[in-house]
Amino acid sequence: MRSFDLLLVLVFLVSMEGLVHGQSPSLRINFYQKTCPNAEQIAHDIVWKRVAKNNALPAKFIRMHFHDCFVRGCDGSVLLNSTANSTAEKDSIPNLSLSGFDVIDEVKSAIEKACPGIVSCSDIVALAARDSVAYQFKKPLWSVPTGRRDGTVSLASEVFTNIPSPFSNFTTLVQNFANKGLDVKDLVVLSGAHTIGIGHCNLFSNRLYNFTGKGDADPSLNAKYASFLKTKCTSQSDTTTTVPMDPTSSVSFDTHYYTILTQNKGLFQSDAALLTDKHSGNLVVKMLDSNTFFEDFGIAMKKMGNIGVLTGNAGEIRKKCSVVGS
């Protein structure tokens, strides 16, 4: 084989390796190595400092990254504030419980001081998700290719049609994920993020009090667990009370989510839905192995982090994450 042909083959194999492991050809590891070499360390240090004081942040940052990527792609649009003429994503009902924006702003401010106008807010969100989970293990579970740019549009009206609902059945969930280039395995693995964090009563209390509109409970929900949940969520109209999504280890990133799923203790309909399909159910069992889950979760997060990314000259680099053109 001629050397030129061999070079082409090598370039192809390298690019395919990146795609197989969830890396967009438009993004790359250490994107800011020359333009802002300390950017990732600055983000890491601030996020770890904050997580040390607030162990709820990992769940919040994974959710923020997920909600950002599923609407208009991973472009930081979830960070934008509403304006007089437009209601932004963060003010839509599914996003009203998002938090952690102050930490993103702190990271952005510190990086701007080091390297003005270089690092995108969308990359900071992706790094915060990775680094916040890493705190528990004192090492990252996945790498984050960077190079995203920030979007300039954020519409509350687009959230409901793109963010998967906790009331969704399996068919709907699969379609939601397929619309973003994600498959059933990604659905099962990313759902494992529910091993940390909380759920609001109104997002699952229909399973306790009025599942089919006849004042009945969801028969697929563990009866003993349902009785416990009723002591926390005393009515279907309760919109303020929260309960852990993983009742015994809600701040530990582990495989216990899959353990409780197999016991029919998944909190949301969308959790229970993973057991209604044979392939999905088999994947749930495989995720009981922590090594398998951690590896696959990292791959799925990198794949999710590629959804609809803006690169090159598209979008912008915001100086303030909540304001377009800042």
> Known catalytic residues?
67
Helices (H), the chain: 3-20, 39-53, 57-69, 101-114, 121-137, 170-178, 184-191, 206-209, 223-232, 256-262, 269-272, 278-286, 290-304
Token pair 């993004």 is found at: 27
- CA neighbor of 136 nearest in space, from 297, 27, 280: 297
Residue 246 labelled as part of a binding site: yes
Q: Are strands 198-200 and 242-244 parallel, antiparallel or unpaired?
A: antiparallel
Q: What is the largest CA-CA distance in the chain?
A: 74
**68 labeled part of a ligand binding site:** yes
| Cα–Cα nearest to 72, from 175, 163, 173 | 163
Beta-carbon contacts of residue 80 (< 8 Å; ≥ 6 apart): 88, 89, 90, 154, 321, 322, 323, 324
The annotation status of 194 as a binding-site residue, yes or no, is: yes
Q: Is 77 annotated as a binding residue?
A: yes
Is 73 annotated among the ligand-binding residues? yes
DSSP-assigned states of every residue in 170-235: HHHHHHHHHTTT--HHHHHHHHGGGGSSEEEGGGTTHHHH-SSSSS---TTS-HHHHHHHHHH--S
Tell me if residue 159 falls in helix, strand or coil.
coil
Is 75 annotated to bind a ligand? Reply is yes
Q: Token digits for 24?
A: 């967009």
Structure-token pair, residue 40: 């990732």
Would you say 254 is a known binding-site residue?
A: yes
Q: Is 99 annotated as a binding residue?
A: no
Known binder of ligand: residue 71?
A: yes
Q: Show binding-site residues for substrate.
A: 164
Residue list for the binding site for heme b: 194
- Binding positions for Ca(2+) are 68, 71, 73, 75, 77, 89, 195, 246, 254
Known binding-site residues equal: 68, 71, 73, 75, 77, 89, 164, 194-195, 246, 254
